[in-house]
Amino acid sequence: MDTTLDDPLVGRVLDGRYRIDARIAAGGMATVYRAVDTRLDRVLALKVMHPALAADGAFVDRFIREAKSVARLAHPNVVAVFDQGTDGPYTYLAMEYVSGCTLRDVLRERGALQPRAALDILEPVLAALGAAHRAGFVHRDMKPENVLIGDDGRVKVADFGLVRSVGSVTNTTGSVLGTVSYLAPEQIENGITDTRVDVYACGVVLYEMLTGSKPHNGGSPAQVLYQHLNEDVPPPSALVPGLPAGLDALVAQAAARNPELRPSDAAALLGLVRGVRGGLGEGELDAVPPQALARTRTAAEDRTGVIPRAVDDQQPVLRTSRLESTPLAPSTSLAPSTPLASSAPPPPTRRLPRGPRRGPLLIVAGVLLALGLGTGVWYINSGQFTKVPNLLGKSEEQAKSQLSAAGLGVKRIDRKFSDAFERGTVMNTDPEGGKRIRGNGAVVLTVSRGPEVVGVPDLKGRPLEEAKAELTKTGLAPGIVTQAFSQDVARGSVISTDPAGGQRRAPDTAVALVVSKGRPIQVPNVTGRTLDQAREALEGLGLTVKTAGEQVNSPSAPGTVANQSALAGAQAAAGDTVTLTLSKGPRQVQVPDVTGKDLDTARRTLEGLGFQVKVDRPFLSFSDTVDSQSVLGGLNAPEGSTITVRTRGL
């Protein structure tokens, strides 16, 4: 049945510009339409938030955050956002329209992919995520549904709706937003979401492309979460025998349970992928995998959901919740899929008796509640009431601490712009300070995001860590850090920023930093010198000297420097290391017998072995035949040494 006919927006022109032609897919938070921009006469995808959610500030903020985040990326492998606006009850994003399918469609139809195809898809995905990571953002919901493959073969990453600033690494609400099959262990256990959670998800996606199956499968999302926490991702070759060991190692490193063992971001993982690919032969890349390997999975495993987690080691709280509704269904002509959220209010909480920390078992128990094994249990107290403390101007942590001391909890935290309250401080509470509330009640905190537009501070000359702290305090996010030489800025301090100091930007904008390597040092030529002489010359300039473990043959005398890692004349920074390789003298080469040969042949033969050739022609000799040579044929001579050949006389 075509539900497009029942959609009231189909056929309308939104915001006087976007003519909606057809509905692509719908979910709990938004509906995606194929539309035409009547001003520019181009087809695009229009993502429209459901009017019932437009009144919820948190949903609207998240919706708009997606537009702002993706619009900053401008990367060929990211689904572009063209516009964002509101028309009456409708809040929308105008996005690039991608005609094709999702990676999920490909895996559902084909199962395991050839290694070449899997890497061809993974590389542009990592390029897109690498751009996001360098800009200071984390995707947080990487999965095959969010990888679009166009009819022209282009690969694009969609749905940055869950994107967060790299600086916002910890979820403090007691829940984690994501899709259970691709959640990193630290997301589940601690709510930590830095660039390495995207790396973990890409490792899981690579495993799925190579095997046609997810690494962790269970009868319920709770079982999958438990496996993420307690079981390593198995090598793909265990399921598809014959896969190269390099691919096993790549999956193991990307999907390591310990985030410290993973590549630091998508760009670092892309470098590893290209290195592994370069080491594979054509036959290994094009090996045909066994088909029909895909395992049965439950629908809940592929949903983007709110996953409760333990939030207090001493007094754990299980929060009943419900998963957000499933991502948008695939279509033959696809716009980005959307992790969709329910608008239902959160159910009440259940406090367990004080006891030891349960770790993963507590998390699993919380997930079971989240999956609907009950509507929640009200904790009934003795009917006592208490006053809400006055929290205005307090930091978020101070407010939580005072509420906890009063026996109260935090129902939720809203964040709004304010010119009157500093960023990170409480600007309002519900109920207000001084109002009476039941002793086990919860308070809604509204925390200031600071001014809606903030000025970039002038950070020139500030040490890097101090500059990062100042950006965070101002409400901006430290972005990518690069290094450059400077004559007037001390090593380790900031030379410049992008945007520059004094410019105004929205909160959480990533600011790139250029940090000084100090004054450039011109590296001298130390080849041919003794090790002590070379060390003295280099260390005297502020460089660090390291000696290579093996010596090499060279024209230099034994024990002198044969090679240096930084070429003479190159620029280096104070503290940079120059590695010296010592000579074990020239290589001894057997001299051929060239007597009786013509001069040209003798010269080519000797020079071809690395010797210098000198010709000694007697007076009045007109012969071109070699009569004798300075080193007899069959004897050894140092490579590069001179062999004298003499022609016959009269």
Q: Mind spelling out the 3-state secondary structure of 143-207?
A: CHHHEEEECCCCEEECCCCCCEECCCCECCCCEEEEEHHHCCHHHHHHCECCHHHHHHHHHHHHH
Confidence at residue 498, expressed as pLDDT on a 0 to 100 scale: 92
Q: Is the pLDDT of residue 301 over 60?
A: no
Which contiguous run of DSSP H or E holds residue 459? Answer: none
Which contiguous run of DSSP H or E holds residue 57? Answer: helix 57-73
Q: Is the pLDDT of residue 348 over 60?
A: no
Distances in Å between the alpha carbon of 444 and those of 388, 428, 433, 449, 637?
Answer: 11, 8, 11, 16, 88
Q: Is the pLDDT of residue 266 over 70?
A: yes
**CA-to-CA distance for 220 and 300, rounded, in angstroms?**
8
411-417: average pLDDT: 89
DSSP string, 547-605: E-SS-B--SSPTTBEEEESSPTT-EE-TT-EEEEEEB--PPEEEPP--TTSBHHHHHHH
Banded pLDDT at 416 (limits 50, 70, 90): confident
**CA-to-CA distance for 534 and 528, rounded, in angstroms?**
9
Lowest mean pLDDT among 69-73, 437-441, 442-446: 69-73
At residue 49, the 3 state secondary structure works out as strand
**CA-to-CA distance for 533 and 554, rounded, in angstroms?**
18
At residue 537, the 3 state secondary structure works out as helix
Q: What are phi and psi of 518, to 5 degrees?
A: 85, -175
Express as a percent the part of the chain with pLDDT over 90: 48
Banded pLDDT at 541 (limits 50, 70, 90): very high
Is 141 annotated as catalytic? yes
Write down the architecture of domain 454-516 according to CATH. 2-Layer Sandwich (3.30)
Q: What's the burial of 380, exposed, middle or buried (CB within 10 Å: 0-12/13-18/19+)?
A: exposed
Residue span(s) of the chain under CATH 3.30.200.20 come to 3-96
Q: Which CATH class is domain 3-96?
A: alpha beta
Q: Which residues contact 240 (CB under 8 A, 6 or more apart)?
A: 112, 210, 211, 289, 290, 293
Q: Is the pLDDT of residue 279 over 60?
A: yes
Q: Is the pLDDT of residue 85 over 70?
A: yes
Q: Is the pLDDT of residue 298 over 50?
A: no
Most confident of 16-25, 203-212, 310-319: 203-212
Banded pLDDT at 383 (limits 50, 70, 90): very low
CB 464 within 8 A of CB 480: no
Q: Which residues contact 298 (CB under 8 A, 6 or more apart)?
A: 219, 220, 221
**Single-letter code of the amino acid located at 569:** G
At residue 221, the 3 state secondary structure works out as helix
**CA-to-CA distance for 50 and 90, rounded, in angstroms?**
7
Q: Is the pLDDT of residue 152 over 70?
A: yes
Q: Is the backbone of residue 531 left (phi > 0), alpha (psi -120 to 50) or beta?
A: alpha
Q: Is the pLDDT of residue 178 over 80?
A: no
**CA-to-CA distance for 169 and 192, rounded, in angstroms?**
5
For 384, other C-beta atoms within 10 Å of its C-beta total 9
CB 467 within 8 A of CB 499: no
Q: What's the burial of 414, exposed, middle or buried (CB within 10 Å: 0-12/13-18/19+)?
A: middle
Q: Is the pLDDT of residue 142 over 70?
A: yes
Confidence at residue 66, expressed as pLDDT on a 0 to 100 scale: 65
Q: For 314-330, how does the pLDDT look when each residue is reduced to its tens digit (9 = 90+)?
A: 332 222 222 233 333 33
Check 105, 120, 141, 414 and give the catalytic one: 141
Q: For 621-645, how does the pLDDT look when each residue is reduced to its tens digit (9 = 90+)?
A: 778 899 999 999 999 998 888 999 9
How far out from the chain centre does Cα 350 lie? Answer: 36
**CA-to-CA distance for 345 and 205, rounded, in angstroms?**
33
What's the mean per-residue pLDDT of the chain? 80
At residue 517, the 3 state secondary structure works out as coil
Q: What is the CATH number of domain 588-647?
A: 3.30.10.20
Express as a percent the part of the chain with pLDDT over 70: 80
Lowest mean pLDDT among 170-174, 445-449, 583-587: 170-174
CB 141 within 8 A of CB 179: yes
CB 292 within 8 A of CB 111: yes
Q: For 544-571, how does the pLDDT look when each residue is reduced to its tens digit (9 = 90+)?
A: 999 998 999 888 889 999 999 999 999 9
**CA-to-CA distance for 399 and 200, rounded, in angstroms?**
34
β partners of residue 49: 30
Q: What share of the chain is helix, strand, coil (3-state, %, to 5)?
A: 30, 25, 45
Q: Which residue has the tokens 């938004």?
A: 30
Confidence at residue 291, expressed as pLDDT on a 0 to 100 scale: 59
Confidence at residue 196, expressed as pLDDT on a 0 to 100 scale: 95
CB 22 within 8 A of CB 11: no
**Single-letter code of the amino acid located at 622:** F
Confidence at residue 461, expressed as pLDDT on a 0 to 100 scale: 95
**Single-letter code of the amino acid located at 494:** V
Residue 326 in tokens: 């499933």
598-611: average pLDDT: 93
Confidence at residue 337, expressed as pLDDT on a 0 to 100 scale: 35
Residue span(s) of the chain under CATH 3.30.10.20 come to 454-516, 521-582, 588-647
Q: Bigger pLDDT: 32 or 579?
A: 579
β partners of residue 170: 192
What does the radius of gyration of the chain's CA atoms come to, in whole angstroms?
Answer: 34
Banded pLDDT at 3 (limits 50, 70, 90): very low
Q: What's the burial of 475, exposed, middle or buried (CB within 10 Å: 0-12/13-18/19+)?
A: buried
Write down the architecture of domain 521-582 according to CATH. 2-Layer Sandwich (3.30)
Banded pLDDT at 516 (limits 50, 70, 90): very high
Confidence at residue 449, expressed as pLDDT on a 0 to 100 scale: 82
Q: Is the pLDDT of residue 353 over 80?
A: no
Q: Which residues contact 413 (CB under 8 A, 6 or more apart)?
A: 172, 173, 396, 444, 445, 446, 447
